[in-house]
Amino acid sequence: MRGVIEPRDKEGPHPIQVDLFIDRLAFDRFGRVLRHLLVGLVDQACRIRLVSADPRVESLTLGPVTTVLHEPLRWPLNRRRTDRLLDALSPQPPTVVHALSAESFDLARSAAETFDADLILQVTSVADCSALASLSEARVGRYIAFTRPLASLLEEQLRIPTERISVVKAGITASKQPACFAQPKRTPTLVSFSPFARGGGVDVLIEAAHLLLRRQRDFLLFLLGEGRRESYLRRLIRHRELSARITLAHPTGNFLQTMQSADLYLRPAPDAAFEDDVLHAMGCGAATVVTAGPIVDYVQHDETGLVCDTLDAQVLADAVDSLLLDVERARRLAYNAQEYVRTHHPISAVAQQTADIYRRLALAHATFSMKES
């Protein structure tokens, strides 16, 4: 009889076996949040196994957390490679299967069906919600959303009952003091992590910097990212005579150290997918400027940052300019952002909430199995 949690001995019940399916996009967008979550789950009496085709996942392995790497699923080899993965998992079958974004939904569902495990789908983007429209939800025990707007999309667009959705906010660390204008004699430092791709907004940010230069504002802007438009963006910087003001570079080194030297953090394009950079910038105490998007609830205009109504160079320049001219306002926003992160995104609470979901599902399944046997 599967799912019954029986006493092992005086030490207590068997721990829940949780398989976390981590795809490439999840690692790219919120790998630091995953690391925090795993550290917290280690103390929650859950056995955690990471399942991924991305070798970077091995950097998340710690203590009792183990890793199973599988071959990338590419047609026409999908079925064969899926079967090999399921064989590798079978000696220690999962109690709960947790898929962390849409790229892993199908594979996680196969594992849940094979091992009669409870399935959790983490919804982290508008694309994830769209993917769910074509996915059978018969086995989904719980949907987890990082933000309230994502949960609302599930409720309103997919008609998923509210009681099947949990909002579990990402766990973020907060520095003791705001980084924003902590060194008043230094040239104001602006930082942005955005893809060098169409729709990333970096070109618009360069145009906004050009407007600031015409207003004779003093600043240094660091554009950190990767993508096919890098050459175009470098030409644009030269054309706008911004080479002395803007540094374009690939993101290397310690992200948090970079954030701790930033006065303002800029996210030009509206986010349709959760990425942890803005929250980490808030935790480090940088004043943030973002463009309004469909999933963000943590940047609240003129409270925890500035929200631009549209992706427009003039609008971005005006928002940044207002903070360069009013340092006290910028520091107030940075301080509020840090307090928001401390209150709403504590790492310990995220791990506790996630483990509680695992336990409730496992207990409900065990109870159901006993009634059916």
Domains, the chain, in order of start with CATH, read 7-171+346-372 (3.40.50.2000), 189-344 (3.40.50.2000)
Cα–Cα distance for residue pair 267/103, rounded to 1 Å:
24
Supply angle C-alpha 122, 126, 129, rounded to 5: 55
- Which of 172-186, 325-339, 346-360: highest mean pLDDT? 325-339
Task: Assign 95 a pLDDT band (cuts: 50, 70, 90).
Answer: very high
The whole-number pLDDT of residue 14 equals 60
Of 133-137, 139-143, 206-210, 238-242, where does mean pLDDT reach its minimum? 133-137
Type and span of the H or E element at 363: helix 347-372
Helical (H) or strand (E) element with 127: helix 126-132
Which of 121-135, 153-167, 197-211 is least confident?
121-135
Name 246's bridge partners.
221
* Residue 133: predicted pLDDT: 81
Decide if 194 contacts 205 (C-beta within 8 A): yes
The 10s digit of each residue's pLDDT in 243-265 is: 999 999 988 777 778 888 899 99
- pLDDT tens-place string over residues 123-139: 999 999 988 887 766 67
CB atoms within 10 A of CB 161: 9
CA 67 to chain centre: 20
> What is the arithmetic mean of pLDDT over 307-315?
97
| pTM score, whole prediction | 0.89
